[in-house]
């Protein structure tokens, strides 16, 4: 099987590419390297073919998808704050870009399309955990764009028979996640702060909760999605456990032995107070269960910092 991984030099995409190569698949990575890094492909994915291109370039996508049996789509502008700062750019990359990749996959005759969606489509659900059949209510352009991508997947499955599987990621973390970005996710920022012996910054009181899932578990879910018998499937990918940011700080304090208290700043617009996943669909239809605990994943992140 030959698989195209868009965004394959990024944080999650490179782990997916590594696992695909290790599983004996022929892999082609497409990335524009705006946030993806070539060094992320130094592992198993060093054997992948690399195409430098953007998902907004339909011609480049058609060429990259040619001859591929499946497409795993991770290329995205992955930031709620960035989408609020520039909603049009978020739409062009995350919504229109997804449609471009779907059309390229269809033209190439790919048999399976796996789409990396997001828990951001749920919005501030009244009663977590979020179930896949809950009415979506995104409160950021990023969430709206991911929901549009899901709708395009459904339309391509219904109208053209392109087998799609949507994976709704909750809070993915692990090595290769950039702590230096203005919009960096919380765990790499916290881990980098403890590594540098400085207090981490929390936006809000720290009692907001997230469902954190380790990146290698997420990569494994992508391989399961390639083989899932239920095309048209939508599944949450998470641990099914709500964890407060204060608990993450406490775990890092224990792991590092560094008694650092966080600095609190005002909450950011578009951030959801609580997020947790119902995981029964992934367990039943993908055979997916996360293997790494929060503490094990945090230790891997700290070890990756040297």
DSSP states of 163-230 as a string?
-EEEEEE-EEE-TT--SSSTT--HHHHHHHHHHTT---EEESSS--EE-EEEHHHHHHHHHHHHH-S-
Within 10 angstroms of residue 266's Cβ, the number of other Cβ atoms is 7
**Catalytic annotation, pick one of 122, 142, 152, 169:** 142
Which position has the token pair 């996360």?
A: 290
Pull the structure tokens for residue 281: 């669909």
Beta bridge partners of 27: 3
Whether 149 and 98 have beta carbons less than 8 Å apart is answered as yes
Helices 97-108, 58-65: crossing angle, 10 deg rounding: 40
128 closest CA partner among 267, 281, 278: 278
Report the half-sphere exposure of 71 (CA within 13 A, side-chain side).
33
**How far lies 122's CA from each of 18, 119, 140, 271, in Å?**
30, 6, 10, 12
Is 152 labeled as catalytic in the residue annotation? Answer: no
Helix, strand, coil distribution of the chain in percent, nearest 5: 45, 20, 40
Sign of CA dihedral 268, 197, 248, 206: negative
- Kind and range of the H or E element at 81? helix 80-85
Extended beta strands in 2-102, E state: 2-6, 26-31, 49-52, 70-73
Catalytic residues: 142
């Amino acid at each position: 099987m030959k698989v195209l991984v868009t965004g394959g030099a990024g944080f999650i995409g490179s782990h997916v590419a590594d696992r695909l190569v290790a599983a004996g698949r022929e892999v082609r990575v497409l990335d524009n390297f705006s946030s993806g890094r070539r060094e992320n492909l130094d592992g198993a994915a060093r054997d992948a073919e690399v195409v430098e291109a953007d998902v907004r370039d339909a011609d480049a996508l058609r060429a990259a998808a040619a001859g591929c049996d499946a497409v795993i789509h991770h290329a995205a502008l992955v930031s709620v704050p960035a989408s609020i700062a520039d909603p049009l750019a978020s739409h062009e990359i995350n919504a229109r870009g997804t449609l471009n990749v779907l059309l390229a996959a269809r033209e190439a005759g790919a048999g399976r399309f796996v789409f990396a969606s997001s828990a951001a489509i749920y919005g501030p659900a009244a009663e977590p955990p979020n179930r896949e059949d809950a009415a979506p209510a995104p409160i950021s352009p990023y969430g709206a764009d991911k929901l549009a991508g899901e709708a395009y997947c459904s339309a391509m499955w219904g109208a053209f028979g392109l087998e799609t599987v949507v994976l709704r990621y909750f809070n993915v973390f692990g090595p290769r996640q950039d702590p230096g970005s203005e919009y960096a996710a919380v765990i790499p920022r916290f881990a980098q702060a403890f590594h540098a012996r400085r207090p981490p910054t929390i936006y809000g009181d720290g009692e907001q909760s997230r469902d954190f899932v380790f990146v290698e578990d997420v990569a494994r879910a992508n391989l399961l999605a390639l083989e899932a018998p239920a095309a048209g499937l939508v599944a949450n990918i998470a641990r099914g456990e709500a964890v407060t940011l204060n608990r993450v700080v406490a775990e890092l304090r224990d792991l590092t032995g560094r008694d650092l208290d966080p600095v609190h700043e005002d909450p950011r617009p578009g951030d959801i107070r609580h997020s947790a996943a119902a995981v029964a669909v992934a367990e039943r239809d993908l055979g997916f269960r996360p293997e790494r605990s929060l503490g094990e994943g945090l230790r891997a992140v700290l070890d990756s910092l040297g």
